[in-house]
Amino acid sequence: MEPTTLVTRPIYVLIHLITLSKTGRTNILVIFQTRTHIFLVIIFQGSKCSFAGEQAIKGEVGVLAPSGESEETLQAIEGVGSFENNSLEMDKFKAFIEGGKALLKLASGQRWSFRE
């Protein structure tokens, strides 16, 4: 299966240093949000799809960046669970990240930096 590219609206990123309750480890929580609260628009095709046509994903999404302090060009992220379950919505239904990992790259190709 080929990778899919999803293009979001312009986003703002909030960075929080948190302690995970299960492990006690410190981690970086990255929250992506937009000014319009529309995160991205997906176009569903096919007559059997219950979400036919354009559907906006609204809300914000939080992910962990376990290697965020490394300031690499590609930054690994992973879903954190219940935060997404309560924050994203599509067609009045909750949308969420069940888990999984991804690599993010800035459009500029620059290294990620969470420092000022």
First to last CA, the chain: 38
What are the tens digits of pLDDT across the range 69-104? 778 888 888 877 655 456 788 878 887 777 778 888
In a domain, 110, yes or no: no
Q: What digits encode the pLDDT tens for the residues 8-26?
A: 777 887 877 777 777 777 7
Assess if residue 112 is contained within a domain.
no
Is residue 45 a part of any domain in this protein? yes
Residues with Cβ < 8 Å from 99, sequence gap 6 or more?
A: 78, 79, 81
In a domain, 85, yes or no: yes
Q: How many domains does the chain have?
A: 1
Give the domain range for residue 42.
Answer: 12-105
Q: Is the pTM of this model over 0.85?
A: no
On whether residue 64 sits in a domain, the answer given is: yes
SS3 label, residue 27: strand
